[in-house]
Structure 1
Amino acid sequence: MITTHEELRGWFAGRIPDGLFESLAEVTVDREEITVVGRIAEPSLAKDTSGPEQVAAFLARAREFRERTRDDRIAVAREAEQRFGRKVSWGAECGTERVLFTHVAAPVMTRLRQPERQVLDTLVEAGVARSRSDALAWCVRLVQSHTDDWLTELRDSLEQVRRVRAQGPDTAAEEATAGEE
């Protein structure tokens, strides 16, 4: 069974059909979902193409890629979902644009005191969010955008802890042999 992020990334790198992506840009995982994002070829554009025209071309290329590769991606996703017990979502990077095709929106339960609820309600009343749920998601994205370096370091540390644990002795086997003495 795959236990580390590197092994998971390696599994996808080995399992994704050759030529599907130019390169595997990112594989992220949490309790519910594995998201696989690959870099795809940019469309040929004139050197003097405007910024908005480039963005439109990159997004159109990503949509074309999504349709053309659907069967291949579904086959890999089914195998991965059975093997890892998580949904697989896909995305593509083209030029300056990143597009996620599908992704899980998992409900998260939390208890908030009145001051925290007032923050959410203010965001709703101001039209920043449609609901408390949207407001909470907005807050998480805001924190994420300001703490990416810190979160990356924390995730790397957690991955190191997982690797060390995986290299440790098998406690179930030790307990079984201890009972035989």
Structure 2
Amino acid sequence: MMMRRGDVPWGRGGGPRTEPPPADDAPAWIGGALPDTWFQGPAEVTIDRDEILIVGRLSPPTLADDASEADRVAAEQGRIAGFRETTRDQRIGIAQQLERRYRRKVSWGVQVGDTRELFTTHSAPVMTRLRQSERQVLDTLVDSGVARSRSEALAWCVALVGQHADTWLRELREAMQSVDELRKRGPAV
């Protein structure tokens, strides 16, 4: 079967969705697959059960001493656009290999100075049941124009919690990693 970018051989078409394989070695695999000339240092790799996000830091453009803030932003955007265009085919090839190996969508982004841009991202649907009081929160956000839909309102709420609970979420993720390490050291069943 010929696969095209965007074709996903797992979880669609009525077939059962199974958990993707572990991706513990994905950052190392990605580090080996990426050309050494692309990024300053190793890429930042973020992995969840649906997506692998690869963000690399590009060297900043050289500017004149009297360059304005607007000049800096424009130069950084130009650097990003140039990188995105010249690496497109190679990034697609790497993404296809990663998607086959780890059964997750692959997204890309770069950072230059203070400018961070994600080229592609994967939006995964999440089903949930909400009680009336919770739906009213979402509807208030929609009715006030903060969000265009309940889905967008829920995403806004999640982002807001993420901003305000960052320290707690980081501690929770670290604790989960410790539990995973203990499980791995336990007896095989």
| TM-score normalised by the chain length of structure 2 | 0.82
Deviation at 1:165, TM superposition (A): 2.3
Give 3-state SS (helix, strand or coil) of 2:127's partner.
Answer: coil
Alpha-carbon distance between aligned partners in 2 of 1:168 and 1:78, rounded to the nearest angstrom = 35
Corresponding residue to 2:102 among 84, 91, 94: 84
1:53 Cα shift? Answer: 2.5
Rg larger in 1 or in 2? 1
SS of corresponding position for 2:130: coil
Corresponding position: 1:136 with 2:154: yes
Question: Compared with structure 1, are the counterparts of its residues 144 and 135 closer, same or farther at alpha carbon in structure 2 (3 Å cutoff)?
Answer: same
Distance 1:136 1:88 in 2: 24
Q: 1:3, CA displacement in angstroms?
A: 4.3
The match for 2:178 among 127, 141, 160 is 160
Q: Distance in 1 between matches of 2:22 and 2:182?
A: 11
* C-alpha RMSD of the superposition: 1.7
SS of structure 2 residue aligned to 1:67 = helix
Instruction: Provide the rounded CA distance (Å) in 2 between the counterparts of 1:145 and 1:50.
Output: 30
Return 40-49 or 89-98, whichever deviates more.
40-49
1:60-75 to 2 correspondences below 5 Å: 60-75=78-93
In the alignment, structure 2 segments of 5+ residues that lack a partner are 1-20
Corresponding position of 2:120: 102
Q: Distance in 2 between matches of 1:137 and 1:58?
A: 29
SS at match of 1:127: coil
Cα distance, 1:121–1:73 mapped onto 2, change above 3 Å: same
Quote the Cα distance in structure 2 between the aligned partners of 1:15 and 1:160.
Answer: 29
Q: Which residue of 1 aligns with 2:134?
A: 116
Identity %: 54
Assess if the C-alpha contact under 8 Å between 1:17 and 1:72 holds in 2.
no
Instruction: Give the structure, 1 or 2, with the largest relative contact order (CA under 8 Å, sep 6 or more).
Output: 1
**TM-score normalised to the size of structure 1?**
0.86
Instruction: Report the more deviating stretch, 66-75 or 153-162.
Output: 153-162
**Aligned equivalent of 1:33, options 51, 61, 66:** 51
Among candidates 22, 26, 42, match of residue 24 of structure 1: 42
Change over 3 Å in CA distance of 1:147–1:48 after alignment to 2:
farther
Change beyond 3 A, Cα 1:81–1:52: same
Q: What do the CA deviations read for 1:86-112 (whole angstroms, capped 9, x no partner)?
A: 011111011101111101111111111
- Gapped regions of structure 1 (runs ≥ 5): 172-181
2:145 corresponds in structure 1 to: 127
Query: Closer, same or farther in 2 for the Cα pair 1:167/1:14, shift >3 Å?
Result: farther
- State the AA in 1 paired with 2:129: R
Q: Is the 8 A contact 1:4 1:159 kept in 2?
A: no
CA distance in 2, matches of 1:48, 1:160: 50
Match of 1:12 among 30, 34, 37: 30
> Hey, what's the Cα distance between the residues in 1 that align with 2:26 and 2:119?
20
